[in-house]
Amino acid sequence: MVLYTSPFPNSFLSVLHSFSWGLIFPCYWLADRLVASFVPTTYEKRQRADDPCYFHALCIIITTPIYLALLVASLPFALIGFLLWSPLQSARRPYIYSRLEDKSHANGATLLTEWKAAGSGKSFCFGSANVCLLPDSLARFNNVFNTQARAKEIGRRIRNGASRPQIKIYIDSPTNTSISAASFSSLVSPQGGDSTNHTFNPGMKRTTSMEYKGDNSGSNSGEDTREDKGRTREPNEGEENSCIVRINGEDNGHMSDTETDAINDQAHASCPAEPLLEGDAEVSKTPNHKQKEGDSGSLDSCSASRESLVKVRVVDGTVDQSSVNKLLYKASIMKKTSVRKKKHTDETFDHEISAFFPANLDFLCLQEVFDKRAAEKLKEQLHHYFEYIVYDVGVYSCHSCCSFKFVNSGLLFASRYPVMDAAYHCYPNGRGTDSLASKGALFLKVQVGSTPQDQRIVGYISCTHLQAIAGDTTVRCEQLDMLQDWLSEFRKSTSSSSTANPEELVAFDVICGDLNFDNCSSEDKLEQQHSLFTHYKDPCRIGPGEDKPWAIGTLLDPEGLYDEQVCTPDNLQKVLESEEGRKGYLVYPTSKNHSSSQKGRKASLKGNGRRIDYMLYTEEGLYLEWKVEVEEFSFITQLAGLTDHLPVAMRLMVSTGEDDP
């Protein structure tokens, strides 16, 4: 299948489309600004309440007649442009495929070679988020604004969080908690230290991620790091930006003040200031992007809080965790180690609320990237980390859908691995305001490696956004039916394997997206019992109507987005870790016994919030000799103040069971 790198098959149609949109855009922009001036966010209301001169009201009185006059003057040109634009959409392609042009930062081909050296398995990390990048006037109905600035900041935070180095500290003995100065020196300077001392031993495994600027994240590791990987074999050798630090037992758990001071100096020296990107001044004017003390969402400050950057996994035995935390704090490597132990011992994977996107994020699925200018800004930022991006997905006008479509599907896909095939389908049964957008499903096939026998190893990823209107249960169930059928057709049409000649080995099949129903609401029973959940597994779900106790909602209460308690990633993380905090800032499943308002509701509520953003995986249709299991699942607060949804992330381990696949 040919991947479309431009929206039209020839340059003449592209020029004609640009001309027609140039005639429409002034009218579109003026209408957007006019409506936006009358739909204030809660942040703007608070600012205006403190303005004794009513300056903003005066501005509206002056600018409204000007906007109206210009809008009326631009209408004839917009009509001409629309008459040209609409028929052109029948020739428009359903998506645009963008590949990073800077070859010095491209590493997709390098990643493909890592599978052969992965030993008994390799992990892949998936992320999904609804980013609410609508035209500014419409975004304000969700209490977010400044779409163009938000798009840039969202992309910046995602790539900075995903491209930060992942530093792993292994304790040699389950009872040994001493940490040498040499080990911490290596932790502060990932490419320093003696790599020959890197060893892996069963015991406590601590994964620590330090701050990272991400400006050169296209090439995620230096030559020294690659050499270290060549000399050391770890469980997930394919992970980049990793530094393995050996914790031995030579110091009896003590560290001298001289060693501590040296470590502190190294820590500060290793955190250079990052130059402001173009447009940062504009971003800082909005509350969505105001960097406060302790806000580490963008990893921009040496003094930023490092809480939630540390992840502890007890592999075998016991360890004196308090001693380790004390030493880490003393060394100033991190603020305080936050140990999130599993509340249920029968759980087979780690789960957490994290202030950052996972390090070494491989695939990203976004929803509600409706605004085309915002999509370009977002793509530009994501290309600092992701080499392959599919965006502007969907159809316009009446092309191949039952109703007129004013905006695209809002789907965007970014990958570190090469995209082999892509297909898009529009849901034909949208109702109400949802029918104005070409909501649908994007299907992708990616190559993630090859075997020593030169068999391609591939994976399938689907990204979708279902009907949003409450009560449209039947519509969503029909869309889930279509999703399954289309995915089955896509896999058949893109597969080049047969039982007799397996040219490809399928490693994973994942579905991500905003499904607009939760697993605990009494009004969503039909969706909860859909056959999709018999073929695909939801890591957060026990069964229809019951989530696992650690799973939390992903839909934030829009009214509280700018409250001091939740306006930064760290603050939002702390709030969501408490039951009372979740009741105050998450939307809860609807119930006939409760009103829809969140205000003052502190009574007993079902579940931990309305979870409508899903990540599903299956073991069906994969290579039979391999096993797929979840390693980690995260609810992410890094986009606090930028969207009304919580991003989610899942790391899958594909185990081959052999030294070589």
State the catalytic residues. Answer: 645
d(CA 470, CA 516): 8
Q: CA distances (Å), 594 to each of 151, 434, 556, 588, 597, in order?
A: 35, 26, 18, 10, 8
Please say whether the beta carbons of 172 and 248 come within 8 A: yes
d(CA 354, CA 572): 10
Q: For residue 552, give the nearest of 299, 307, 343, 336 by alpha carbon.
A: 343
Helices (H), 416-520: 473-494
Q: For the chain, how far is it from start to end, CA to CA, in angstroms? A: 27
Q: Give the number of C-alpha atoms closer than 13 A to the C-alpha of residue 539, restricted to the C-beta side.
A: 29
DSSP states along 354-416: ESSPPTT--EEEEEEE--HHHHHHHHHHHTTT-SEEEES-S--BTTTSSS-BSB----EEEES
Please say whether the beta carbons of 478 and 530 come within 8 A: no
Alpha carbon dihedral 587, 591, 596, 597, in 10-degree steps, equals -70
557 Cβ contact list (under 8 Å, min separation 6): 584, 585, 586, 587, 598
Q: For residue 159, give the nearest of 420, 423, 399, 362 by alpha carbon.
A: 362
Q: For residue 169, give the nearest of 217, 122, 210 by alpha carbon.
A: 210
Q: For residue 113, give the nearest of 378, 367, 451 by alpha carbon.
A: 451
Q: Which residue bears the tokens 């409706």?
A: 370
d(CA 516, CA 555): 10
Q: For residue 439, give the nearest of 480, 471, 473 by alpha carbon.
A: 480
Please say whether the beta carbons of 648 and 613 come within 8 A: yes
Please say whether the beta carbons of 522 and 592 come within 8 A: yes
Please say whether the beta carbons of 491 and 540 come within 8 A: no
d(CA 459, CA 447): 6
Reading across the β-sheet that carries 204-209, which strands appear in turn? 242-247, 166-171, 204-209, 310-314
Q: CA distances (Å), 76 to each of 25, 70, 71, 405, in order?
A: 12, 11, 10, 21
Query: Chain-centre distance of CA 507, in angstroms?
Result: 21
d(CA 586, CA 642): 15
391 - beta bridge partners? 96
126 Cβ contact list (under 8 Å, min separation 6): 361, 362, 363, 364, 365, 461, 510, 512, 615, 649, 650, 651, 652
